[in-house]
Amino acid sequence: MNLNDNKFFNSTDIHVSSRMNEYLKKNFGYAVDGDMSTLEEAKQSLQAEQIELKKSSYMSKKYMENMLMIETITSLLKAHGEDTSSSYKHEEVTEESDATEEVKLPEAKPASAEHHRYKNDSQLARSKGHLLDTLETLEMAIEYRSQNSAGFFNNGDKAGTGDLYDMHHKLKDILDNWDENIKYYGM
């Protein structure tokens, strides 16, 4: 299905949830009317704020919220066919400089141990969430198969659940020992 054939994606109206607008008002001081131009303005304003946050408090809660909001707005614009770049590709806007002047990029500082721990913890939390979702979905599959096992074959055989229970048990063991297995250790 081509998304551009859909009325929603072909319109110039963008439906922004009231929650998103409340969040924008509360945290960034403005709301979006629901058209592409105000959404683009909001994105540009957030990107300018992102530059300031990056200088002072990179990886702070405010910076992360700002980055996620930019990505949300970028996704909305892309869904409506706007040619837009993600915040990851967004280049820092610097003060006007002479075109003949050579621009020197700042040297990248090595990330701190705190940064690496934060990123690792974030990835592991997401992985644990996926594991919990997988366990829940597997439980539903086991339940469905056990209730409908006679319907899987036309010859009177029933579909077994033993292998599924084994998989569930292994995943449950991983989850039960999660905290122990993710501890930092030196090598």
Instruction: Tell me whether residue 8 is in a domain.
Output: yes
Residue finishing a domain among 79, 94, 128: 79
Instruction: Tell me whether residue 104 is in a domain.
Output: no
Q: Is there a contact between 76 and 11 (Cβ–Cβ < 8 Å)?
A: no
Do 14 and 70 lie in one domain? The reply is: yes
Output 132 or 91, whichever has higher pLDDT: 132
Coil, helix or strand for 183? Answer: coil
pLDDT tens for 69-110 read 888 778 777 776 676 655 444 444 444 444 455 556 566 678
Instruction: Tell me whether residue 105 is in a domain.
Output: no
Instruction: Tell me whether residue 103 is in a domain.
Output: no
Confidence check: pLDDT of 27 > 80: no
Domain coverage including residue 35: 3-79
Mean pLDDT (the chain, rounded):
75
Provide the pLDDT confidence category of residue 16 given band limits of 50, 70 and 90: low
